Amino acid sequence: MAGQADNRAPYAKIAAHYTELIASGQLQPGTLLPSIKNLAEEWKVSTATAEKALRKLRNEGLVRGIHGIGTEVLDQPAPMSSGSQRQDRGRRTGSSWGAGERSDSHRAAVVTAPAEVAQALDIEPGSDVIRRSRVYRDRHGIVAHSTSWIPVRYGKLIPQLAASERLNGTSLGLIAQATGYPISHRVDSASARLLTPEYARLLELDPENLPAEPVVVMTAKFVDSEGNIVEYGVDLGGPGRTWRTESEVSS
């Protein structure tokens, strides 16, 4: 899937470039970023734009300014993404991975839908459903354990949905392409939940020595232009991971 044109503002492109370098480990903690003047010259932008890019990185907690020295890269786990953020990323880039992320442990099977899933997908309790799961990681460890629950009828159109391997594209993109109905809206929720033995297993933690802090659980329900619920996603954040969103505010 080809990436779409990048229409972000120049400062956002600069910030995204350094976000990727930091998240991937190419810029180690303690590294100093170029000065505002050097950034402006390298990217052929104004110093105001360069300063705005650095401010965005500071606001996101990726760097800090040290008076008289410069802008230093900080070391901390990246936040997890919601299902909607992963959908946006997949539509834009063809991959649901965040900066510096990778995924593994891809598993898929046709199973009986749990009650919560049946209700979310608006199907009869006990119906078959495709369960796809994977683990997102970065250099700090597990970002999130992610599960996609998909009505089994889509497996007849797209057999690879039920195969235990990484998809060539995203499940939502494949379903929209096969049916001709684009995703029209989504419903997101977020909650904090205490770790259970099952959560600990999914996050590869020792169930006898669980962190006391709750973890973030994100859910997302995706609906196509015909009103069909095509997927219900559940993302379980790793310990210490937070969820962050950003949007422009018009004055």
DSSP for 50-67 reads: HHHHHHHHHHTTSEEEET
| Crossing angle of helices 10-24 and 47-59, rounded to 10° | 40
β-partners of residue 166 are none
pLDDT of 137 > 80? The answer is yes
Among 43, 37, 48, 98, CA closest to 71:
37
What's the pLDDT at 2?
Answer: 42
The pair of structure tokens assigned to 157 is 């159109």
- E strands of the chain, at which residues? 63-66, 70-73, 102-112, 128-138, 141-151, 183-193, 215-224, 229-237
Q: 3: pLDDT confidence band, cut at 50, 70 and 90?
A: very low
Tokens of 243: 């969820």
Question: For 37-95, what is each residue's pLDDT tens digit?
Answer: 999 999 999 999 999 999 999 988 889 899 889 999 987 767 787 777 777 777 777 77
Spatial separation of the C-alpha atoms in residues 53 and 61, rounded to whole Å: 13
CA distance 248 to 140: 29
15 is written with which tokens?
């910030």
Residues 6+ apart with CB under 8 A from 164: 106, 107, 108, 109
The answer to whether 111 and 143 have CB atoms below 8 angstroms apart is no
Q: Provide mean pLDDT across the span 168-184.
A: 93
CB-based burial label for 81 (10 Å; 0-12, 13-18, 19+): buried
User: With 0-12 CB in 10 A as exposed, 13-18 as middle and 19+ as buried, what is 121?
Assistant: buried
Q: What pTM, to 2 d.p., does this model score? A: 0.72
pLDDT of residue 229: 97
